[in-house]
Amino acid sequence: MEEIRELGQARPGSIHCLTIIGQIEGHQILPDDVKATKYEHILPTIAAIEESPEVTALLILLNTAGGDVEAGLAIAEMIAGMRKPTASLVLGGGHSIGVPLAVSADRSFIAASASMTIHPVRISGVVIGAAQTYDYLARMQERITAFVTAHSRIPEGRFLRLMSDTTQLANDVGSILSGQEAVKEGLIDGIGTLSDALRYLHGRACELPRQAQE
């Protein structure tokens, strides 16, 4: 039976657990009081998991609070490009860039008490007020929308409408979906717990040897 193990301690048949918590740090370092995930640490870990002969599958635990959009999208692209079975589990919340991270896995789960926050790309701090700035934001939003709709069942038009809703968030634009709503919209595959995610990975891991023989 597969076991959850860290890299370096893995034995044949292990499932690696990767946690992505708090804000996603890019090249700009966040304050010490912000619990953050550094993408430059996550990317080589994903590559090592993919190449490890001992690791059978990857479980991603998510509780995100936004962060660097390009860094988060880079992590999502890495996960989506893996050959090994992957499953994501949203716990607490998936905010902004947490949406593409959640749907990047082969199978996405969300806890019944968790939520997903969808809103447009924005920049905080000093911004150069030029037309190119807004063009850049629009292109970034297009990249995120294309990724999310390609890796989930939510239609592009519906995703854009949820992202542009002005009635749900105070002083902001976007939508907050409960776990059930995220599944109903086709954003997440199903309501689930840790055992559901592991059961899926165990099943996929057992299928791989049979597929190799065929």
Catalytic annotation, residues = 96, 119
Q: Tell me which long-range contacts 152-159 makes (C-beta under 8 A, separation of at least 24).
A: 152/103, 152/108, 152/186, 152/187, 152/188, 153/186, 153/187, 154/185, 154/186, 154/187, 155/186, 158/185, 159/118, 159/187
State the Rg of the chain over Cα: 18
φ, ψ at 150 (rounded to 5°): -75, -25
Residues pairing with 132 in the sheet: none
Largest CA-CA distance found in the chain, in angstroms, rounded: 59
Long-range contact pairs involving 146-153 (C-beta distance under 8 Å, separation at least 24): 147/73, 147/76, 147/77, 147/80, 147/100, 147/103, 147/104, 148/99, 148/100, 148/103, 148/187, 151/80, 151/100, 151/103, 151/104, 152/103, 152/108, 152/186, 152/187, 152/188, 153/186, 153/187
